[in-house]
Structure 1
């Protein structure tokens, strides 16, 4: 199948692609950096079904997590596109041609097609999306930097703050904005077909798209320990001492999926993060910051102790020489007096 001709219905063909964005964001504690955006677009409607935003270069995990988001139902009611695509069309990069993606598409009964190496046919539509993002969103933000140029203004946005603006742009502008070569808007075109998208048999079927921890974990009496966090679930009480495999989304560490002997067991939550969305990077960053703070505290206290000792130091007296023992002069021994008449 080729993308030279348009799809005839929604979810017939989805395209995936990456691109560095023309903006610099704050990347503490390092210098500002340009983020990478992975998007999955429905070829028929031009709707964006899923995305992944990161400072890291593209890899299979980014694509898998974007596809997982694209297939599942979204929390925001404005973002209605979902379902399993009939064809998942990607470029020929090594990140896409992994056995992981082939296994995922086979399990979901979706045909995986790679573009010919060096001949990326049918990429114009998704490339126009990146141009639209640059022209209508990035140019209005601090840190905007056209390709080959540095930022015109100092970067002020963090990755999380920019992601919130990007989502609002997708749902509030791009999806409801008429396209010049498309009747209606992407949102109305995807909904106009009046079809029921094909969904996975269960939410656990999409867990193959999550990151799998290679080393098995042992269930303890107080739960599963991972990344210095503790995860609990009532089901785990019957598996204390057993080895389990966990899968997780690095963007949200509040919950992990637990598998026992290749069978889904339960979802375990971290009580400390139950009401929050905390990424793995944020946890690692907080842990490193805590370590640096402790090291600085120890250093400051050592300096304070050294200063105190220098200020209050008493000059020690030179050691006294032991006095020579005094000896009294020897008295002559008394001699016995002898008398003549004795």
Structure 2
């Protein structure tokens, strides 16, 4: 959907949208045909039939991804040569050139732009271009987590700060759903808040319900989970991810070990 969204929502020519997303026009046309035939569900990721049978270690895959996110952007041939050398040293099966190219091609286009061209290029291509205010209720919902500024006692009697997950209607600014919980935010808590947001409330004064066209969130692991992705596909909700670590009105680049570029390239740096 990231590649097709400019074409579907803003009328950008498919050739330009494909170039911006880093895919071939042929692939973009195939995705567009699948979307028109089956909607967002047709583009949902499906597990590979041979999943779990690959002999390529996960560390090797992460190494390829980390090398691909370096600046300046290395060629696929350079990545393949480097990984082959390290694989031989570590006793890993050496990946083929095609395998390396497939892994590099599967990187998120936004993350690749952020790593190779910086935050300004990312905002121009993936954040500011698509960001707009909703024109009607249930057009855009925003999902976010907040650690509350209060202390409660958990089951063990230990003082802890609870978390609040909210689903907010962008047009009316009304809360469509929420959940309060202890522990780190997870896909389960997000799904519970979304379920409450969708269903009609028992209190007639709380009239917000239905299905949004777009669910806007950040790049947290719970927002990008396979479960939530499938929920959005099944309900025909278009998930939209904002800039990594940003808020919709205040896009700022994160720093430190929580930065996805840091996580993806940490293993590659270890082999320098």
Coarse TM-score class (shorter-chain normalised): 0.3 to 0.5
Structure-2-length-normalised TM-score? 0.43
Q: Higher strand proportion, which one?
A: 1
Whose Rg is larger?
1
